[in-house]
Amino acid sequence: MAEALILTGFMGSGKTAVGKLLAEKLDRDFFDADPLVEERMGMPIPEIFEIHGEPEFRKAEETVVTGLLGEAAKSSRGAVISLGGGAVTIAAIYEKLVREPLVVLLDEDVDRAWQHARGGSRPLAADPEHFRSLYAERESIYRSVAKYIVDTRDLDAGGVADRIVELIHERTGTL
Ligand code: S3P
């Protein structure tokens, strides 16, 4: 059974695009946490935040991600999981990520992350100052769960996916 490959990182770091490519490349199942949270709550993320508030979003995210990690562990093809940027801030998820061997941080610069995330539908990417302070708050949390860190600055999604495979292969001889 293959260990799940789990992508973490801030909003706008490319987790979904890279996760999809990786899953194709490695012939693994792909799970994207955010759409599954939307499905569970029956509405898009901005509405979840607006109607129910962030704490309810985090509760649903905790349930979805915990379920995904359990499901992925049983998958015979192996899984690639793209987490939402705030999943690491949920204690129960953090505890699990610390023990997962293939957690990869997509390490994006805050200015580039803002350029990617601004003007979209992310409730926590509405104000540049708040975005920056969240980034600063979370930086060390991402690093403390990551077993691999990929600097995404000069790479497109395909380049990041290739780099992840290369890094894990170098260290473990697998993938
Ligand atoms: C969030 C990141 C988003 C989404 C939600 C909250 C965060 O996911 O889960 O808007 O707290 O960083 P992406 O990282 O995929 O944008």
The pLDDT value recorded for residue 8 is: 98
Tens digits of per-residue pLDDT, 95-146? 999 999 999 999 999 999 999 999 999 999 999 999 999 999 999 999 999 9
Q: 77 alpha carbon to ligand 1 midpoint, in Å?
A: 27
Cα of 170 to ligand 1 centre, how many Å? Answer: 30
Confidence (pTM):
0.97
User: With bands split at pLDDT 50, 70 and 90, how would you rate the model's confidence at 175?
Assistant: confident
* Confidence tier at 75 by pLDDT (50, 70, 90): confident
- Assign 73 a pLDDT band (cuts: 50, 70, 90): confident
Angle at which helices 15-26 and 157-172 pack, to 10 degrees? Answer: 60
* Average pLDDT value for residue range 13-42: 97
Q: What is the mean pLDDT of the chain?
A: 96
For atom 3 of ligand 1, which residue has the closest CA? 84
* CA nearest ligand 1 atom 9, residue: 84
Domains of the chain: 5-172 (3.40.50.300)
